[in-house]
Amino acid sequence: MRILFIGDIMGRAGREALETYLPELKRDLEPDVVIVNGENAAHGKGITEKICTQFYDLGVDCITSGNHIWDQREIIPYIARDARLLRPDNFPKGTPGSGVLRLELQDGRVIVIVNLMARLFMDALDDPFAKLEEIAAENRLGQTCQALFVDFHGETTSEKYSLGHHFDSRVSAVIGTHTHAPTADAHIMSGGTAYMSDAGMSGDYDSVIGVRKDIAIHRFVRKMPGEPLIPASENKTLCGVFIVTNDNTGRAVSIEPVRLGDTLSNVRPKPA
């Protein structure tokens, strides 16, 4: 299975990057599934129904999220009726929405997409390791599904690596999000799980993790509140990862970073 995952969409620059580069990536890479983390898509704060529709119209199959999922109040009633918009599955029981999507492709193959949130320096949610144990037990690679993809939204590489190693061979991929900085550690773990600590942000990198640099710098230098955190929007770069898995085993065959745009060095996976 060919899986294209795009990291955190940050404001208008991120949305424009997706609109610009996703069509050519779909043409060149021929992904079976396109997954996008959209938790910062609405001016850096959450996501809206309108933006979800725009993403689906571009060919996105599933939207994951993280700690900013509730920033737009309108998303609370909407997420309950959109199975393709995920929030971390380790939110408390009774939280609207779901963190798992079982997606059947037109050819009958099945991918299970999981959204989890880490706990170090994050909100005190339920145990993501225990939650993924339950999900992996119900969705066995090569038996009940052809791929199991995990977006692990968190601050620390240690927690992300630990989850990756703990579930190595039992899930197809563990890809981190949240820090808005693409890491250089994309690789396949010894048991066959594709791993990357952070897929990076899609947005304006002439910024401070997507925020206008003058506003962020003022807060560090003056140690006083200033303007609200406004996304930078002059340049646009798309970041993510492209993974190919073996349908028989569900394990990864290859993993390649994706970086296209104005600021970072561009990395484009080989065409199909």
Active site residues: 68
CA distance 136 to 242: 22
Q: Are 64 and 177 in contact (CB under 8 A)?
A: yes
CA distance 73 to 163: 31
CA distance 220 to 230: 16
**What end-to-end distance do the CA atoms of the chain give, in Å?**
12
The residues, ordered by sequence, that sit 6+ positions from 246 with a Cβ below 8 Å of its Cβ are: 252, 253
